[in-house]
């Protein structure tokens, strides 16, 4: 009896030691993993009120100037009316905005990509931007001309995010086991992601110019595949309440859907107060958004923000 | 002998298994769950005002501008709240039985709750909406008669509850805070009224009906009195023109509602029609009607616009989102008008009262 109980106890001790060893080893492995995948949760949120209050007055101006966003807008000749509207409206708030066109268009200044293929245009644009501006900008935003973007809200979203980390943000979609940022919501890359992307652009095995074998793969998926090889993973951008800040639809469409889905909470259920992008706008709607966002407001509502942005020079619609 | 060592071995195995399991449980408790934390997606931002609220609490009492939404926690609405108390506005919305659910409902869900008091005026009473029954017929030719009866009703029941009395349509969107800012410079005991000023037919001009117009308490008294004493005609097929003529007869001044840099605040159309150059054709009546030089493009409209007209339900909610929700973080607006002197003094006095550090 005694020998049995002692062997039982010995067994228990051995089992526990074994378990402890395994747990320790497992933790060390996870620890390494943490350093490789800095952001393991795929839902990146904007900083909330408590974080903001910790920023001192002096830091605000400095902080605001520390975000340098370069805007890439991919256009084609058929987009001229949207192109004109985009040029006259929100892109004035980018630190620099350049239009990358499939071919030269009279009157509209652009960088000629000399190709009709969206993925090739995207690759060339990213390469051009990185080669020329790697030292001047720390965030790169890619958009389509049907989009309206609010740079100030993008910078607010990027508050406390280190651009030397590989960020790849926007409205994400899962396709099989690939999570990618939809080009329809706008794509944000940090300078680190740009660096890694550009190092792979020349390697056809990792980043081929012709992705799909049988049918074409959309350019945003191709980008995701390429970035994945470089250890850059897509993250969905949300505000402090979990609402998307990069939107693939227009405000009007959101409202219409809300009116049929939850008619008692239309505006509340619509979109984030800190939305960065909307898509599917007509040129006229761009001008209305410009007025609605940068000018029209209710008197007597004052905000204490952590950042300060001045209106751009020589502009009359903001 | 062999069976005994087997038994020992088995107990040893059992022990190790149990030990392993217990230990792993202990570790998992100590280290906590490392699950994927999904952020709570709260699509419900309850604000103080709901579509279902009857609005009974608006006769007196504070407007809760700082609703529960966490997005508005860094918002300071002291000045807006101060103006709410100082510049009391009663809004009445011209509607009809057919339009209560189609149009008036959306007015109720959006801007109407920001009036100090709101009334929906229809030809027949609706206790549930609620809507006041003016006991008239419906139709465009009845608009003036409805207007007279509505103002009469307001005068008889709510004269002392407000300083200013605004008429709007069920397709007008009004930004009450901006209206209060505009009116704060004026004395409601003065005979004056404001709106989008048109120049034809009336020497001092008259106010567009659709863009909405607002009468001072004195103007309302004189208007109601004018019908009792037959100074003004009871019938007309053009509501806003007839009202404008009456105002001139009873010496109520047509005010200048433009902002401090001359931009219009009351708008007879939606923002798009005013902001887009060439949207309204050059031959359109509008260009000849405007009292002040009409402007298209960004100069059309004040940052502190008061109203827009021909606003369909979708656009009502869109404007609500653009005015009260979406904003460019940290942006220093170009147009920074001052508070009127008297309000500025009051607000700073209130701050001094609250802050014990300030002597």
Q: What pLDDT score was predicted for residue B356?
A: 46
> B263-287, pLDDT tens digit by residue?
999 999 999 999 999 999 999 999 9
Q: What is the mean pLDDT of residues A286-307?
A: 96
For testing contact with chain A, the best of B303, B318, B351 (most A CBs within 10 A): B318
**Residue B92 in domain:** yes
Instruction: Return the percentage of chain B with pLDDT > 70, whole number.
Output: 83
Residue B344, pLDDT above cutoff 80: no
* Beta-carbon separation of A309 and B332 below 8 A: yes
When pLDDT is averaged across residues B97-106 and rounded to a whole number, the result is 97
Asked whether residue B18 is domain-assigned, the answer is no
pLDDT of A49 reads 64
User: In whole angstroms, what separates CA B176 from the centre of its chain?
Assistant: 5
pTM: 0.81
CB contact under 8 A, A10 and B12: yes
- Tens-digit pLDDT profile for residues A12-34: 888 888 877 877 775 554 444 33
Q: Hey, what's the torsion of the CAs at A83, A86, A91, A92, to 10 degrees?
A: 110
Q: Would residue B160 count as lying in a domain?
A: yes
Query: Bridge-partner residues for B164, per DSSP?
Result: B89, B216
Q: Which residues neighbour B350 within 8 Å (Cβ) at sequence distance 6 or greater?
A: B78, B82
Asked if B45 and A45 come within 8 Å (Cβ–Cβ), the reply is: no
Strands A172-175 and A139-143: unpaired
Could you tell me the CATH number of the domain that includes residue B111? Answer: 3.90.550
What rounded mean pLDDT belongs to chain A? 89
Task: Test B329 with A156 for CB contact under 8 angstroms.
Answer: yes
Pick the residue from chain B with its C-alpha nearest to A47. B71
Nearest-CA residue of chain A relative to B75? A303
The answer to whether the bond into B237 is cis (omega within 30° of 0) is: no
Please report the DSSP string for B44-94 in residue order: ----S--TT---GGGSSS----S-S-GGGTTEE-HHHHHHHHHS-EEEEEE
Using a CB-CB cut-off of 8 Å, the residues of chain A touching B11 are: 4-5, 7-8, 11
Count chain A–chain B contacts defined by CB atoms under 8 A.
273
Cβ(B76)–Cβ(A303) below 8 Å: yes
Distance CA A19, CA B186 (A): 80
Q: Give the mutation candidate from B331, B337, B338, B347 for the A interface (greatest A CB count, under 10 A).
A: B331
B355 within domain boundaries: no
pLDDT of residue B18: 84
CB contact at 8 A, B261 and B300:
no
Return the pLDDT at B6: 81
Q: Residue B235: name the closest of B134, B137, B138, B144 by CA.
A: B144
Q: Which chain B residues are closer than 8 Å to A30 by Cβ?
A: 34
Report the DSSP pairing between strands B164-169 and B173-174: unpaired
Q: Tell whether the model's pLDDT for residue B85 goes beyond 70.
A: yes
Integer Cα distance of A160 and A180 in angstroms: 23
* B344-350, Cβ contacts within 8 angstroms, sequence gap of 24 or more: B346/B82, B346/B86, B347/B78, B347/B79, B347/B82, B350/B78, B350/B82
Rounded to an integer, the average pLDDT of B334-340 is 88
Q: Which domain, by its residues, includes B270?
A: 77-326
Structural domains in chain A, CATH included, are: 42-295 (3.90.550.50)
Rounded to the nearest angstrom, the gap between the alpha carbon of residue A97 and the centroid of all alpha carbons in its chain is 16
For A300, which of B21, B51, B80 is closest by C-beta distance? Answer: B80
Q: What is the DSSP string of A113-155?
A: -----HHHHHHHHHHHHHHHHTTT-SEEEEE-TT-EE-HHHHH
Residue A2 has pLDDT above 80, yes or no: no
Domains held by chain B: number:
1
- Which structure tokens are listed for A133? 């501006």
Query: What does the alpha-carbon distance between residue B62 and residue B59 come to, in Å, rounded to a whole number?
Result: 10
Measured CA to CA in angstroms, residue A286 lies from A85, A140, B27, B150 at distances of: 6, 22, 56, 39
B143 domain-assigned: yes
Q: Which residues have CB under 8 Å from A143's CB, separation 6+?
A: A71, A72, A73, A74, A86, A149, A186, A187, A277
Q: How far apart are CA B181 and CA B259, in angstroms?
A: 10
> Maximum Cα–Cα distance for chain B, whole Å?
126
- pLDDT tier for residue B218 given thresholds of 50, 70 and 90: very high
């Amino acid at each position: 009896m005694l020998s049995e109980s002692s062997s039982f106890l010995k067994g228990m001790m051995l089992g526990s030691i074994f378990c402890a060893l395994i747990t320790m080893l497992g933790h060390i492995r996870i620890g390494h993993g943490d350093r490789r995948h800095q952001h393991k949760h795929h839902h990146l949120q904007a900083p909330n009120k408590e974080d903001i209050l910790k920023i001192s007055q002096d830091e605000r101006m400095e902080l605001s100037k520390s975000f340098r966003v370069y805007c890439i807008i991919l256009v084609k000749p058929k987009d001229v009316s949207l192109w004109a509207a985009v040029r006259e409206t929100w892109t004035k708030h980018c630190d620099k905005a350049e239009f990358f066109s499939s071919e030269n268009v009279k009157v509209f200044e652009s960088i000629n990509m000399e190709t009709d293929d969206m993925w090739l245009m995207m690759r060339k644009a990213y390469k051009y931007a990185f080669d020329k501006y790697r030292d001047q900008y720390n965030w790169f935003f890619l958009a389509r001309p049907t989009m309206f973007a609010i740079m100030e809200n993008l910078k607010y979203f990027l508050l406390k995010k280190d651009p030397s980390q590989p960020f790849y943000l926007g409205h994400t979609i899962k396709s099989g086991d690939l999570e990618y940022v939809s080009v329809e919501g706008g794509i944000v890359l940090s300078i680190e992601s740009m660096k890694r992307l550009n190092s792979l652009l020349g390697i056809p095995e990792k980043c081929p110019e012709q992705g799909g074998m049988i049918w074409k793969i959309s350019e945003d998926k191709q980008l995701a595949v390429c970035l994945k090889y470089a250890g850059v993973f897509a993250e969905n951008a949300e505000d402090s309440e979990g609402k998307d800040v990069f939107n693939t639809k227009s405000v009007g469409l959101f409202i219409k859907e809300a009116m049929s889905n939850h008619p008692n909470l239309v505006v509340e259920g619509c979109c984030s107060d800190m939305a960065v992008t909307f898509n599917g706008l007509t040129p006229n709607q761009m001008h209305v958004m410009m007025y609605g966002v940068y000018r029209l407001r209710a008197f007597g509502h004052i905000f204490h923000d952590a950042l300060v942005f001045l209106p751009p020079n020589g502009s009359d619609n903001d | 002998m062999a069976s005994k060592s087997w038994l020992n071995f088995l107990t040893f195995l059992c022990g190790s298994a149990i030990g392993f399991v217990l230990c792993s449980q202990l570790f998992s408790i100590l280290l906590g769950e490392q699950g994927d934390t999904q952020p709570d997606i709260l699509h419900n931002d309850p604000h103080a005002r709901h579509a279902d609220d009857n609005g009974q609490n608006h006769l007196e009492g504070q407007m809760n501008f700082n609703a529960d939404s966490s997005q508005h926690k860094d918002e300071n609405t002291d000045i807006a709240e101060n103006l709410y108390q100082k510049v009391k506005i009663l809004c009445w919305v011209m509607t009809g039985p057919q339009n209560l659910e189609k149009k008036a409902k959306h007015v109720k869900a959006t801007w109407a709750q920001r009036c100090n008091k709101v009334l929906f005026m229809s030809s027949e009473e609706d206790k549930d909406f609620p809507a006041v029954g003016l006991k008239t017929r419906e139709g465009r030719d009845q608009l003036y008669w409805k207007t007279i009866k509505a103002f009469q009703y307001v005068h008889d029941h709510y004269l002392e509850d407000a300083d200013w009395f605004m008429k709007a349509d069920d397709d007008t969107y009004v930004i009450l805070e901006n209206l209060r800012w505009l009116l704060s410079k004026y004395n409601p005991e003065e005979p004056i009224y404001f709106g989008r000023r048109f120049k034809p037919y009336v020497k001092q001009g008259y106010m567009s009906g659709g863009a909405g117009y607002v009468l001072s308490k004195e103007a309302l008294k004189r208007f109601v009195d004018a019908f009792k004493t037959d100074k003004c005609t009871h019938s007309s097929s053009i509501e806003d023109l007839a009202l404008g003529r009456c105002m001139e007869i009873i010496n109520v001044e047509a005010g200048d509602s433009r902002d401090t840099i001359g931009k219009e605040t009351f708008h007879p159309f939606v923002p798009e029609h005013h902001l887009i150059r060439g949207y309204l054709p050059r031959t359109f009546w509008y260009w000849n009607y405007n009292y002040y030089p009409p402007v298209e493009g960004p100069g059309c409209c004040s940052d502190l616009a008061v109203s827009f007209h021909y606003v369909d339900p979708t656009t009502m909610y869109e404007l609500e989102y653009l005015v009260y929700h979406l904003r460019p973080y940290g942006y220093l607006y170009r147009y920074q008008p001052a508070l009127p002197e008297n309000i500025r003094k009051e607000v700073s006095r209130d701050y001094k009262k609250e802050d014990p550090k300030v002597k």
